[in-house]
Structure 1
Amino acid sequence: MVRFIVQALVTMVGLWLAAALLPGVAFTSTGSLIAAAIILGIINAVVRPVLVVVTFPITVITLGLFLLVVNAATIGLTAMFLGGFVVDGLWPGIGAAIVTGVVSWSAGAFIQDEAKG
């Protein structure tokens, strides 16, 4: 449970940074940002693995770059479910996926996994 909360906080920072840096990504309130991080975490746990398996052949052909589109799709799906979160198209979604991924990657470098610790 603690891991999910930490991951949601990291995702929240990534989404906030994406909204601050990228035109086409926006939140109406802090509550929308919190809800988007939680919903994105649930979508990443349930829907994303299915998308990764279904799109595996094109992911191999593009040497993994299609995973950016999969991540953008999960962010777009989150925006569809949540009225206070707006992503205006594929390119802002890919940009948000890149920013959120970089923030998650960099936070993962500083946060130790309890299995390693």
Structure 2
Amino acid sequence: MHAAEGHVSQADHGSIGQAEGGIGHITRFQDGRPTRFTFQRRFDRVPHVQITPEYDPSVGFTRFWIYFLSNGGPAVDNEGFSLGVFNDVGHTIAFRWTAIDIIPRDHPR
């Protein structure tokens, strides 16, 4: 089997200006509203945020979707991020998150 080859169109090479991460929990609400997560310290610029769901062997496999969900504004900003989850109402999903601000080499400081 041969692997497919892809190309990136842009890469931010530079230094990490600020990084933060942790573990969060999100619960599906009846009305489907987003859940807001706030950073411990405000970022100078909007960071790149990555979400990784945690597998809980005691629950077994459950089909769900975690997604960035805005409530009229951007889903990620300098102060935090908003997520939505699609699964059964009342079901809670644990996830790990990472927020990183990469300062490009040619960025004026």
TM range (shorter): under 0.3
Query: Which has the higher relative contact order, 1 or 2, with Cα contacts under 8 A spaced 6 or more apart?
Result: 2
Q: By percentage of residues, which structure has more strand?
A: 2
Q: By percentage of residues, which structure has more helix?
A: 1
Q: TM-score, normalised by structure 1?
A: 0.25
Q: TM-score, normalised by structure 2?
A: 0.26
